[in-house]
Amino acid sequence: MGTFWSTTTTRGAPAVALADLSTEELAAFMQLQRAAYDELKLRGLKLDVTRGKPSAQQLDLSNGLLDLPDGFVAADGTDTRNYGGLLGLTELREIFAELLGVNLDQLTAQGNSSLTLMQQVLVGCLLHGAVDSERPWSAEGTIKFICPVPGYDRHFALLNSFGIEMVPVPMHEDGPDADKIAALVKDDPSIKGMWVVPTYANPTGDTVTEEVAAKLLAMPTAAPDFKIFWDNAYALHHLTQVETKSVDVISLAASSGNPHRPIMFASTSKITFAGAGVAFLAASTENITWYLKHLGLSSIGPDKVNQLRHAQFFKDAGGVREHMRAHAQIIAPKFDAVERILTERLAEHDIARWTTPIGGYFVSLDVLPGTASRVVELAKEAGIALTPAGSSYPLGNDPDDENIRLAPTMPPLEEVEVAMDGVATCVLLAAGEYLTSH
């Protein structure tokens, strides 16, 4: 008995039951799987578990926003209809400063997409240099970023669009491999930063512990202006009663002597309306000043009417927490279904392992190495759209061809169930095919 998986992670390594079958037993297994797959194809399904979008039922939770704001004057007298207020509306920033665990003067509220803010910061660093840069990053030749894998495909696409080289490091249950990262950044000044999704990561659901965060914030870096893009997109997105608290990264950075290293991003995209929410950036006050200085050239102020609407809708931080529990009630059964069906169909064969997240939007499924692309292909032919294999890796390159990101939030529960059962059928068939031919 060995393990199929070459990557060293802290997740359990299963035994190899399917690989232990005799040639005859494997042939009989394959016959069953082919029949099951043929049956699946005959169902003519048209299901999609590709992207982590909120369902219509979740969006409905925020329909009250459509009748707000009540008036247009903010608590501090701001006429939200007018220009100005680049930092964002105080009464909304107060609510999210409490939720994100940052000081009010370290938080800015902007438009609807945190991804836009990440791009703005990256462009600012490339063209102008960060607060602690000696020169613009673009003047330094090759630039590299550490990318915990599996990770968020849009982070990687953004880096790639600027020609930034990506250095993958494994994501573990307690966060990215900090020792590996420390060893990489110690002597290489071209490594300018890293991305991390610290709470309920996309796609593993893992949360960075205080200990790992402390290492990342304190580690010596050859680049004096090393940045951690701390993308806390799922900070408040609990699936159980355990409401994991994010690390207080900005204070920890300050006490580690690297106050300008982390830049936190968050948004209400999966709290209210994914297309009409509010995005946040939190960082040292010097970083905030730097960000607003550059932003101020492209905007006279954010959509404060929408920010007022959000502040009135939630009233306070407790209102957001309560709202997130209503989200969990809708989506937790979908995650339970994924766990139940994968366990029922796959556990005994030991050809797959998957995460059981307590927050966030995804399940990360590792199948028999060398079969992830085939699983996605089989699923597609059976009418089940999965995220392309490898999409959670820089340049779409999963060296072991084993990882598939599952996104169960958007389809109705019954469709999630049918899709997962179909995915399990594809995982089994692909594993059988692989073992028959190797």
Q: Which member of 74, 213, 233, 416 binds ligand PLP (CB under 6 A)?
A: 233
CB of 201 to ligand PLP, least distance (A): 7
- Site residues for ligand PLP, window 263-292 (CB under 6 A)? 267, 269, 279
Q: How many other C-beta atoms can be found within 10 angstroms of the C-beta atom of residue 260?
A: 22
For residues 221 and 216, give the distance between their C-alpha atoms in angstroms, rounded to a whole number.
Answer: 10
- Contact stretch for ligand PLP (CB under 6 A) within 112-120, 217-225, 340-348, 422-430: 112-120
Q: Annotate each residue in 160-199 with x if it binds ligand PLP (CB under 6 A) or - if it does not, as one string.
A: -------------------------------------x--
Partners of 406 in the beta sheet? 363
CB nearer to ligand PLP: pick between 202 and 246: 202
Q: Which member of 91, 177, 231, 366 binds ligand PLP (CB under 6 A)?
A: 231
CB of 51 to ligand PLP, least distance (A): 7
CB nearer to ligand PLP: pick between 201 and 368: 201
Count the helix, strand and coil residues of the chain and give each as a percent rounded to the nearest 5: 45, 15, 40
- Is the bond preceding 150 in cis, omega lying within 30 degrees of 0? yes
For residues 283 and 77, give the distance between their C-alpha atoms in angstroms, rounded to a whole number.
Answer: 26
Q: Which member of 78, 133, 202, 258 binds ligand PLP (CB under 6 A)?
A: 202
For residues 184 and 68, give the distance between their C-alpha atoms in angstroms, rounded to a whole number.
Answer: 50
* Contact between residue 179 and residue 132 where contact means Cβ atoms under 8 Å apart: no
DSSP 246-307: PP-HHHHHHHTT-TTSEEEEEESTTTS-TTS--EEEE--HHHHHHHHHHHTTT-S---HHHH
- Contact stretch for ligand PLP (CB under 6 A) within 107-115, 119-127, 129-137, 289-297: 107-115
Q: Which long-range contacts (CB under 8 A, 24 or more apart) does 17-24 make?
A: 17/348, 17/349, 17/350, 17/351, 18/349, 18/350, 18/351, 18/368, 18/431, 18/432, 18/435, 19/435, 21/435
CB of 76 to ligand PLP, least distance (A): 25
CB nearer to ligand PLP: pick between 152 and 434: 152
CB nearer to ligand PLP: pick between 259 and 360: 360
Q: Is 152 in the site for ligand PLP (CB under 6 A)?
A: yes
Q: How many H helices and E strands in the chain?
A: 13, 13
CB of 387 to ligand PLP, least distance (A): 11
Q: Which two tokens stand for residue 84?
A: 């100005």
Q: Which member of 115, 249, 276, 427 binds ligand PLP (CB under 6 A)?
A: 115
Q: Which member of 113, 190, 209, 299 binds ligand PLP (CB under 6 A)?
A: 113
Q: Is 52 in the site for ligand PLP (CB under 6 A)?
A: yes
Helix (H, G, I), strand (E, B) or coil at 353: strand
Q: Which two tokens stand for residue 341?
A: 């069906």
Q: Is 228 in the site for ligand PLP (CB under 6 A)?
A: no
Residues within the interface to ligand PLP (CB under 6 A): 52, 113-115, 152, 197, 202, 231, 233, 267, 269, 279
